[in-house]
Structure 1
Amino acid sequence: MPVRRVAALIAAVSLLALATTLVNRVLPGWAYPLSGVVVVACLLGVARWSGLRAPDLGLDRRHLGRAALVGLVGLALVGVAFAVALAVPALREAFNDGRMDATGVGALLWVALVRIPLGTVLLEEIAFRGVLPALFGAGEDWRWLPVLAASALFGLWHVLPSLALSQNAAVAGVFGGVPVWVTSAVAVVASAVAGVVLHWWRHAGRGVLAPALVHTATNSGGLAVSWWVLTAG
């Protein structure tokens, strides 16, 4: 790898490490989406400085239609999966998230339509399906090393958020009495696997819009379903 590319990779990883620490330990909740936008701008600047261009990052406008179509197919599949889970009592328990108990409609809309799309999806897709794989040497063809490296970092990105998973009834039921670090480790591995899956959507759609739509459907959609299960309950 060229020296500038290595320096850009170190800068990007350092920036993401600082970002996850700030949003999970320092910044107030309202700053989460703003932080996401700022970090994305910085990552794109680092990528541009390293010599990467829009097609390398999955931001080629020529593939926008394909990425949107592939992403919408993924969104529909997520919707079907949620419908099946709601119809099966054992799976429905997975939506029993204690963090949603006292959430009003306004707060739900804020989280589902602003906080998650800007603070989570935009940042994570640009970082882990766009900038990092490209810095690791990904191209138009599927290359396992860049995909696995970026996905491993995606898993580590979820270390701090994973500490709150015990508030989910399904997680607590499976891991009740297990040390927190074990639950966190499982979450990190699961996130890394999810990173590989999301990169497949990016590869199929030739752009980060495809995994962004799948990611939004999973996170915002799952949140909305959890809220409905708890309030309708």
Structure 2
Amino acid sequence: MTEAVPFPPKRVLALVAAVVTLAASTTLANRVLPGWAYPVCGLVASVVLVLLGRAAGCSWRDLGLRSLRRPALTGLAGAGLIAVVFGVALAVPSLRTVYQDGRVGDPDLGQLLWLTCGRILFGTVLIEEIAFRGVLPGLFGATDERWRWPPILCSAALFGLWHALPALAIGRNAAVHAVFGSTPVAVLQVLAMAAAGVAGIFLHWWRHLGRGVLASVIVHFTTNAGGLTLAVLVR
């Protein structure tokens, strides 16, 4: 009698295809496509990843896409906590340098709405949460019933690698420059990727708590869009 295969070959193939899709997506978005296509690329890649997950046998629950109410409530609770943290950072002058970022520029209201509700929501948050808190954990064997470190750590590690190209500009943040001003760019890049991996674990905790990717989507969007908005306000 043959033993059951713990990791079906079709999931291995889906994992490889998902990683290739993500590598192509981040390269196209950061190096090839014009700015307006950034969210389109993220949206298309998200659909491809979900199709790969379903083709590999993952259920909608496995992908974190089955329910809305509990994930939404959990995500909104997380967004409230983040708003409190932002408020404290604004109230304490010494913390405001965290939001002084040379990458922000000087956007007007229309540009700010495009950056937050276009680029960040569809080009960054959607694909990252679908990929690293939905499809990849599902393919690695994560479940909502209990916390399993191996699939979560694997997904978090890939999330860190995903930030390899964006991390090249991390030194333009005022707080980062003040602390790591003379640090080589390559070292800063590795540190930023490691920080992204840790953030990936934190975001997966929200997905796990809310039993759905929408929870981590709301927390992630609030963090990124709120941080950008504050950076514009305090520049």
Offset at residue 145 of structure 1 (A): 0.2
Normalising by structure 2, we get a TM-score of 0.95
**Distance in 2 (alpha carbons) for counterparts of 1:215 and 1:66:** 17
**Distance in 1 (alpha carbons) for counterparts of 2:178 and 2:105:** 18
Does 97-106 or 24-33 show the bigger shift? 97-106
Does 116-125 or 104-113 show the bigger shift? 104-113
Offset at residue 88 of structure 1 (A): 1.2
Which residue, out of 18, 36, 40, partners 1:12?
A: 18
Offset at residue 48 of structure 1 (A): 1.2
Query: Residue type of the partner of 2:95?
Result: L
**Distance in 2 (alpha carbons) for counterparts of 1:229 and 1:91:** 11
Residue in 2 that maps onto 1:108: 112
Offset at residue 13 of structure 1 (A): 0.7
Normalising by structure 1, we get a TM-score of 0.96
2:116 is the alignment partner of 1:128 = no
> What is the root-mean-square deviation of aligned Cα atoms in Å?
0.8
Secondary structure, aligned partner of 2:193: helix
**Distance in 1 (alpha carbons) for counterparts of 2:105 and 2:62:** 42
2:103 is the alignment partner of 1:99 = yes
Structure 2: 5+ residue runs without aligned partners?
1-6
Query: Residue type of the partner of 1:104?
Result: D
Residue in 1 that maps onto 2:189: 184
Query: Residue type of the partner of 2:164?
Result: V
Which residue, out of 50, 56, 63, partners 2:62?
A: 56
Offset at residue 169 of structure 1 (A): 1.0
Does the 8 Å contact 2:120/2:224 carry over to 1? Answer: yes
2:151 is the alignment partner of 1:139 = no
Count of residues in correspondence between the two structures = 228
Query: Residue type of the partner of 2:183?
Result: V
Q: 1:58-97 residue pairs with structure 2 within 5 A?
A: 58-61=64-67, 64-97=68-101
Offset at residue 99 of structure 1 (A): 2.1
Offset at residue 30 of structure 1 (A): 0.7
**Distance in 2 (alpha carbons) for counterparts of 1:52 and 1:180:** 39
Which one has the bigger helix percentage? 1
Residue in 2 that maps onto 1:208: 213
Query: Residue type of the partner of 1:216?
Result: F
Which residue, out of 16, 23, 37, partners 2:29?
A: 23
Offset at residue 101 of structure 1 (A): 3.2
Offset at residue 139 of structure 1 (A): 1.2
Query: Residue type of the partner of 1:189?
Result: A
Structure 1: 5+ residue runs without aligned partners?
none
**Distance in 2 (alpha carbons) for counterparts of 1:216 and 1:145:** 26
Which residue, out of 165, 168, 178, partners 1:160?
A: 165
Query: Residue type of the partner of 1:102?
Result: D
Residue in 2 that maps onto 1:199: 204
Does the 8 Å contact 2:106/2:232 carry over to 1? Answer: no
